[in-house]
Chain A
C-alpha cells in the first residue's frame, strides 16, 4: 500500500465523428507532429471531446472501477492509460510494469494449435521465450484445456479461447493492471477462478477495472469513477454511491409505454406512497413495506378488472410477478366514463436487491380474462442498500448452524 502508480491529470481526447475527416486530420496530425509545429488545441469541424478533463490517481493496492454507459469514454481513457494513443491535453503518469487484460488471446492464429498459440500470445504480452518455457505448465494447468492443447484454436469454443488467453495473461506480474470487460465470457467457475487470481494480484498492484457488471465492480473496487459523455460524473471511494448514480441513468427519460390497450382505460400516473422520486425512480430501502398507486382514466364503462404487475430488472429480464390483486368474492363495482380508477397494491418487506427495476402493469377483464391494458415501465423503482449482490433478490433469511451429536 502506498505510492501512487497511476496519475491522470486533466486528460482530454478528441475524436472526429466523420470518418473521412478523421483520416484527413490523422494525416495532418502526423505531418504537424513530425514537423514539430503547434497543434491546435480547440475542436476542429465535426470533432468532439471523447474524454474531457479527467483526473484521478490510483495507489498500489487500490482498485479503481471505471463505469459508465456505452460511449462514455471508458475505452478511450483505457487506451490512453495503456499508452496506445496519446492524450490531446493533460498528462498521464504510469509508474512500473503495466499489464493489460484488454484483449484475451491477442496474437492467436486460428490455424495453429493451442500449444503454439500460447507462445504467440505470450510474446505479444511481452514475455521472453525463457519465461514462457518456465511458466508453460502452469498456463496449461490454469486453462484447463489439457487434452485439446494440440488442436487448432479455430476449433476451440469461445470459452476455451478465453480460458487459454486468461491463463497466459494471468502469468503477468504487473505493478499496474488494466482490465476491460474481458471476464464477461466464460462459465461461472472460470470467472471465479479469474477473480481469485485478481485477488492475489490486487494487494501489490494498482488496478483499473472497466466493467458493466456492477456486482463485479462492487466486489473488487476500492474507489470508483463514473463517466458520462467524456466527463467524470462521480469520483470517490463510495463505490455504492457511484453505482447508484450509474443505475439512475438507465431510467431517466424512460417513460411508461403502452403495449396494449382495448381503449377502455388510459394510464395516467403511478407512484409509490411516501417515497421520494430521484431521476425518475422512486427510492425504496431494502426490505421495506411498499405501497404502489396507479391512476387510470376510464374511457368506456367497465366492471372491476383484474390487476397484476410484473417486475423487470435492468437487463429487461422478468424477475417477479404479483398474484391476482382483487379477490373474486368482492362485489363488482361499475365504473363509468371519466371516472378515475385507482389501483393500490401493497407488499410487505420487498426484498429486491440493490438496483433499478421497472414495473409493468397488466389489467384484464375479470370474466373473460381478456387483456384490457398493458403498460411497460409504468413505474420505476430504485432499491438502495449497502450490499451489492449478483442476483435480483436479497432474501431476508435467518440462518442457524448447529451440530448434531451422533
Chain B
C-alpha cells in the first residue's frame, strides 16, 4: 500500500452562527476558480442536449426578441401607436431594447432556475455550488452570442456606424450581467424555497418594461418622462443601446454601475455560501 505521508485536508462541519466575511468571500472566489471545469462541462452538456433535441435550434434563442420586436414594429409602422422620435431607425431601436431587456430578466431568474434544474446533484453530491452560477452565466453567454448576431445583422441592414462609444459596450454589458445575476443570487434562497418569486418576476419585468425606454424613447415631457427618469433600468438600456449606435454614453453612470456590480457581487457571494446548506436541507432529494 502506498504511504499516506501527505498532510490531509481537514474539514469541520458544525452549526455556525459566527463567520468571517473575508473568509467566506475567499472561499467563494476559490469555489468559482476550482469549479470552472465542472461548470463548463455541465454547460456544454445542457447546450448539446438542448440542440440535439431541437429542429430549429438557434432560432429559439432569438425567437422572443423577434416576436416582441415584430409586434412593436408593426404597431409603430401602421400608426396604431404614435411614438416619440427615437433618433435611430425604429426597428434597430426595438431590437436593441428588447434584446437587452430580455437579458436583464434572464439574469434575475438565472440563479433560481439553475439551482432548481440541478436539485438532484445538489442534494446528493458535495461540489462547489458556485459552479451553478458559472453554469448559468455560460449558458446565458452562449445565448447572448446568438442574439448579438441578430443585432449585428440589424445594424448592418440599417447601415448604422458605431462611434468610439462602442468601447463602452463590453463594460456596460459586463457590469449589467454581474449586477443582475448578483441580485438574482441574493433572492435565489427565497426563490428556490417558494416558487412565487419565479412566477412574480416575469410579470413584474413585463410591467417595468413600459416604464423603461425599451420599445419607445423617453418622451419629452409628462408623467412617463418622470417615471423613466426615476427608473435606473432606463439608464442601463439607454447606455447599452447608445454604445452600439454611436449615441452618447454617460461615463459616470457606467462607473457607478461598475461599483454597484462589485458590491452586489460580494453580497451575493456571501449570501449564496451561507444559504446553500440551509436550502439543501429543505429541498426534496
A residues near B, CB below 8 A?
A: 5, 13, 15, 22-23, 26-27, 29-30, 32-34, 36-39, 60, 79-98, 100, 102-103, 106-107, 109, 111-112, 116, 119-120, 123-126, 128-129, 175, 203-204
Cβ of B23 within 8 Å of any chain A Cβ, yes or no, is: no
| In contact, B126 and A94 (Cβ under 8 angstroms) | no
B270 to chain A, nearest CB (A): 7
| In contact, A26 and B193 (Cβ under 8 angstroms) | yes
B12 to chain A, nearest CB (A): 5
Knowing A112-B49, A175-B4 are in contact, say whether A91-B14 is a contact too (CB < 8 A): yes
A218 to chain B, nearest CB (A): 24
A interface footprint on B1-12 (CB within 8 Å = 1, 0 otherwise)? 110100011111
CA–CA, A13 and B278, complex, Å: 12
Question: Which residues of B lie under 8 Å from residue A89 when comparing CB positions?
Answer: 15
Of all chain B residues, which has the CB nearest A19?
B282
Please provide the chain B residues from 265 to 285 with a CB less than 8 Å away from any CB of chain A in the complex.
Answer: 270-271, 274-275, 277-282
Question: Which residues of B lie under 8 Å from residue A86 when comparing CB positions?
Answer: 13-16, 277-278
CA–CA, A27 and B189, complex, Å: 7
Question: Which residues of B lie under 8 Å from residue A85 when comparing CB positions?
Answer: 277, 280-281
| In contact, A119 and B127 (Cβ under 8 angstroms) | no
Of all chain B residues, which has the CB nearest A102?
B124
Of all chain B residues, which has the CB nearest A61?
B1
Question: Which residues of A lie under 8 Å from residue B53 when comparing CB positions?
Answer: 111
Of all chain A residues, which has the CB nearest B128?
A126
CA–CA, A83 and B41, complex, Å: 23
Of all chain A residues, which has the CB nearest B190?
A27
Question: Which residues of B lie under 8 Å from residue A125 when comparing CB positions?
Answer: 125
Question: Which residues of A lie under 8 Å from residue B271 when comparing CB positions?
Answer: 30, 34
B223 to chain A, nearest CB (A): 37
Chain B, interface size category, equals 35 or more
In the A-B complex, the 9 residue pairs with the closest CB atoms: A91-B14, A103-B124, A123-B41, A96-B8, A26-B282, A85-B281, A92-B13, A95-B8, A111-B49
| In contact, B126 and A34 (Cβ under 8 angstroms) | no
Of all chain B residues, which has the CB nearest A26?
B282
- Other-chain residue from B10, B37, B124 in contact with A93 (beta carbon distance below 8 A): B10
Knowing A23-B282, A34-B274 are in contact, say whether A123-B38 is a contact too (CB < 8 A): yes
CA–CA, A33 and B18, complex, Å: 8
CA–CA, A327 and B122, complex, Å: 65
B190 to chain A, nearest CB (A): 6
Of all chain B residues, which has the CB nearest A38?
B17
| In contact, B1 and A30 (Cβ under 8 angstroms) | no
CA–CA, A149 and B14, complex, Å: 42
Of all chain B residues, which has the CB nearest A125?
B125
Cβ of B120 within 8 Å of any chain A Cβ, yes or no, is: yes
Question: Which residues of A lie under 8 Å from residue B61 when comparing CB positions?
Answer: none
Which of A81, A85, A204 has most chain B Cβ within 10 Å?
A85
| In contact, A83 and B189 (Cβ under 8 angstroms) | no
Please provide the chain B residues from 159 to 213 with a CB less than 8 Å away from any CB of chain A in the complex.
Answer: 189-190, 193-194
Cβ of B45 within 8 Å of any chain A Cβ, yes or no, is: yes
Knowing A27-B189, A36-B19 are in contact, say whether A83-B45 is a contact too (CB < 8 A): no
- Other-chain residue from A13, A91, A97, A123 in contact with B37 (beta carbon distance below 8 A): A123
Knowing A23-B282, A120-B45 are in contact, say whether A94-B11 is a contact too (CB < 8 A): yes
Question: Which residues of A lie under 8 Å from residue B14 when comparing CB positions?
Answer: 86-87, 90-92
What 8 new A-B contacts, CB under 8 Å, besides A39-B17, A83-B11, A84-B277?
A22-B282, A83-B13, A86-B278, A93-B12, A94-B13, A109-B46, A123-B37, A123-B42
Question: Which residues of A lie under 8 Å from residue B248 when comparing CB positions?
Answer: none
Cβ of B52 within 8 Å of any chain A Cβ, yes or no, is: yes
Which of B122, B271, B281 has most chain A Cβ within 10 Å?
B281
| In contact, A26 and B278 (Cβ under 8 angstroms) | yes
Cβ of B48 within 8 Å of any chain A Cβ, yes or no, is: yes
| In contact, A87 and B4 (Cβ under 8 angstroms) | no
Which of B11, B45, B271 has most chain A Cβ within 10 Å?
B45
CA–CA, A116 and B4, complex, Å: 33
A106 to chain B, nearest CB (A): 5
Q: Report 23 cross-chain contacts, Cβ distance below 8 Å, ordered by A residue.
A: A5-B8, A23-B194, A26-B278, A33-B274, A36-B18, A39-B15, A39-B17, A85-B280, A86-B15, A89-B15, A93-B10, A96-B8, A98-B11, A100-B126, A106-B121, A109-B49, A111-B53, A123-B41, A124-B125, A124-B127, A126-B127, A129-B37, A204-B2
| In contact, A112 and B48 (Cβ under 8 angstroms) | yes
CA–CA, A22 and B126, complex, Å: 22
Question: Which residues of A lie under 8 Å from residue B15 when comparing CB positions?
Answer: 39, 86-90
CA–CA, A100 and B127, complex, Å: 11
Cβ of B123 within 8 Å of any chain A Cβ, yes or no, is: yes
| In contact, B4 and A204 (Cβ under 8 angstroms) | yes
CA–CA, A93 and B280, complex, Å: 20
Of all chain A residues, which has the CB nearest B118?
A107
Of all chain B residues, which has the CB nearest A84?
B280
| In contact, A23 and B270 (Cβ under 8 angstroms) | no
| In contact, B42 and A91 (Cβ under 8 angstroms) | no
Which of B4, B12, B275, B278 has most chain A Cβ within 10 Å?
B278
Of all chain B residues, which has the CB nearest A203?
B1
| In contact, A204 and B1 (Cβ under 8 angstroms) | yes
Of all chain A residues, which has the CB nearest B3?
A204
Of all chain B residues, which has the CB nearest A107?
B121
Question: Which residues of A lie under 8 Å from residue B46 when comparing CB positions?
Answer: 109
Please provide the chain B residues from 100 to 159 with a CB less than 8 Å away from any CB of chain A in the complex.
Answer: 120-127
A63 to chain B, nearest CB (A): 16
CA–CA, A29 and B9, complex, Å: 29
B188 to chain A, nearest CB (A): 10
